[in-house]
A and B are shown apart, each in its own frame.
Chain A
Amino acid sequence: MTERMVTFVRTLRDAGVRVSMAETMDAAEALRHTPVSERPVFKMSLQAALIKEHTDIPTFDALFERFFMVQLKDAEQPAGPETEAQEGEPENAQKADPDAEQDQTGETGYEEGEQQAQQEEGEGEEAAGEEEEGEIEEMLSRIQVGEDTAPTAPEPGRQPHRAKEENIDLYQELPPGQVEDLYEAVEELAASLVTRRSIRYHRARRGQVDIKRTLQKSFRTGNMPFHIILKRRKINKHELVVLCDISGSVWEVARFFLKLVQEMQIQFSRARSFLFVDRINEVTDTFDGRPFEEIIEQLKDDPSLNFFGLSDFGRAFYQFYAEHLKSLSRTTVLVILGDARTNWFDPMEWTLDEMKLRTHQVIWLNPEPMQYWDTDDSVMSKYAPHCHHVLECRNLDQLKRVGELILQT
């Protein structure tokens, strides 16, 4: 029985679900308390112990079905007339699943599984003698389905390429699978940045005793300092305004930056996002609670963004200058992301200077490699004097630095 469990867990892992050893042991423990014969209970016992993200539930459902379902049904009604029909199923299931996992290679996960199997056996022995154990044993011994699905060749794993993620060049077309991994990495990055920041808030709240005000207040209570007043360190919350070029190749980087902005939003008193190709478009409201990918898809389909137009920085900046200059203030951090390729249009850099005068910080992020700046129609050096910082931003490492810079301002 423990072997079955371990195989199941291994299959889950291969499907990309993270299951720890402790969780496997919880599942084994859970099964000692619940009857295997009741399918929904059996299933939920495994699910509650093994699955900790609701996004993993569909995977679990599918695998559970393949692993246990058919056989358990069979066990419940051994002499039913449908038995034959059901017996046909497992084979179909096996054949119908040429197993996405099969084509993956690697060794590490397997060894881990072996260790676990040993660990589990210990557990099992302990459990022996329990009444239900025999029942479980019997049930599970009947289960043949899914033997072939056992992961002879586990997935190379998410971890190995994790390490290099920071250096992946974002300024290129990425395979879809990787994009998701990178989104996840950006999420983690944002979380770590936000934590550091919230520690600052934390300290600010727990400041030292404000002797002067405490004593002042103590006059009311006969010079006894009944109410201690703490000094509060003041931390300004800035307003973030993002102006993001989304034309052509820049888009690849822009979406990761937008993801970062979305994740960090809570750190600002207000965060507004504008996208532009040749006109600006406020998309602040589009970034609500929905999954980021969904939002991105919606933006891509938005005709008003003129996704495939020629980018015109001058015109976009002028429009921002004309319509939104008033909304900028000394607490605003303005972040512009773009390659500064104007397609030979007028760059109108003076508009940027006006913006600089009215904001706390102007930060320009250029996703192009630095050696290409100012070649052809790139006018980076015309815009650069009107920014406080100009940074190259084309991998997660640089994105992280950008995040730090934005939060520090």
Chain B
Amino acid sequence: MTAFSSVQHVIELFDRQGYICGPEVATPVYLMDRLEKPLLVEGPPGVGKTEIAKTLSKSLSRRLIRLQCYEGLDESKALYEWEYTKQLLYTQMLKDRIGGLLEGARTLSEAVELLDRQDSAFFSQHFLLPRPLLEAILSPEPVVLLIDEVDRSDDEFESFLLEVLSDFQVSIPELGTLRSAQRPLVVLTSNANRNLSEALRRRCLYLYIDYPSAEQEVRIVLRKSPDIDTELANQVVRFVQKIRTLNVRKPPSISETIDWALALVVLNAPHLSREVLSSTLNVLMKDKEDIERIMREGVR
């Protein structure tokens, strides 16, 4: 089952959700669906990497399952865990039943055998606590799986991920192999904190998103902050783009540009001036030294 009929279709659907993009973003998205491959998205923070997955889920009305990666993330947090407490609780409550079950047993080994036959009752999907990956696999309808900031996870987890992503099935010793009914659309994002392995890259389609062009960013600002004056939007974007070329510690992201534009609208600022800047720059820039520098040196 394919979700999009053409690249143009992707652009339109995304546009309807307020995500403005050109073919450079839409083509890989279209292809990930056609080729049934995960999409690895890289780029500086705040250019809308995670947003791609969210928009994808919204525009296809598919559920978004998100796995946030961090150092030390392991299988029990990403795939599944046995709900030990629940198992124990049930055993407690079913004590009498179990007693009844074992009544006929004369020896201990016979009792064990009887109990053993009920094994599947204790290790069934009732007691399985699915984590995002398993959830995506078990879901009867297709979902969008977002594996966010995959570069933060450890190398071992990355290899484990490779295994899951290659055929979308997992083996649970007590239950056997679980296969996905529908192939989820998988989006991986990375901030390049760590170099991802060659193997993972090979298996994915790759998309590098950079900051948008001035023209595109103006369109985004106008879309997200409809009340803004076009002239002001142009000024805002020109200013932001200029800052990005300076060597600041934390360049402003797209969402910060939008926040700033919204703030300017709320404050009724007619155009950018020094006073407006000094009172609102902290919406755009989040680093004290950067702000001081911009205010001191100005932007030419």
Q: Which residues of A contact B (CB under 8 A)?
A: 18, 20, 22-23, 26, 29-30, 33-34, 38, 40-41, 44-45, 47-49, 51-54, 57, 187, 191, 194-195, 198-199, 201-202, 205-206, 224-228, 288
Contact = CB atoms under 8 A, between A and B. Distances in A.
Contact of B27 (A44, A57, A199, A224): A44
Given A53-B201, A54-B208, A199-B156, A191 B31 contact: no
A52 B40 contact: yes
Nearest to B74: A202
Given A34-B30, A54-B42, 13 more contacts: A29-B35, A34-B7, A38-B23, A40-B23, A40-B24, A40-B27, A44-B28, A45-B31, A52-B202, A191-B194, A201-B72, A202-B154, A205-B72
13 contacts: A18-B198, A22-B203, A33-B31, A33-B34, A33-B35, A38-B23, A40-B27, A48-B31, A191-B194, A198-B155, A199-B156, A224-B92, A228-B84
Contacts of A47: 206
Contacts of B72: 201-202, 205
Interface residues of B, number: 38
Q: Is the interface of A mostly helix, strand, loop or mixed?
A: helix
B24 A44 contact: yes
A51 B206 contact: yes
A394 to B, nearest CB: 26
Would you list the 8 A-B pairs with minimal beta carbon distance, nearest first? A44-B27, A52-B201, A48-B28, A54-B208, A40-B23, A48-B205, A33-B34, A195-B155
A48 B92 CA distance: 55
A191 B34 CA distance: 34
A394 B208 CA distance: 37
A26 B72 CA distance: 33
Indicate the member of A22, A29, A30, A44 with the most B CB atoms within 10 Å: A44
A30 B42 contact: no
B37 interface: yes
Contacts of B156: 195, 198-199, 202
B206 A52 contact: yes
B100 to A, nearest CB: 20
A41 B7 contact: yes
Contact of A226 (B34, B40, B42, B85): B85
Contact of B205 (A49, A54, A201): A49
B22 interface: yes
A44 B208 contact: no
Nearest to A53: B201
A225 B92 CA distance: 12
Contacts of B249: 288
B148 to A, nearest CB: 18
A175 to B, nearest CB: 24
Contacts of A191: 155, 194-195
B207 interface: yes
Contacts of A18: 198
B23 A30 contact: no
Nearest to A39: B23
A9 to B, nearest CB: 14
Contact of A49 (B31, B85, B88): B31
Contacts of A57: 208
Best-surrounded residue of A41, A199, A206 (most CB of chain B within 10 A): A41
A214 to B, nearest CB: 12
Contacts of B31: 30, 33-34, 45, 48-49
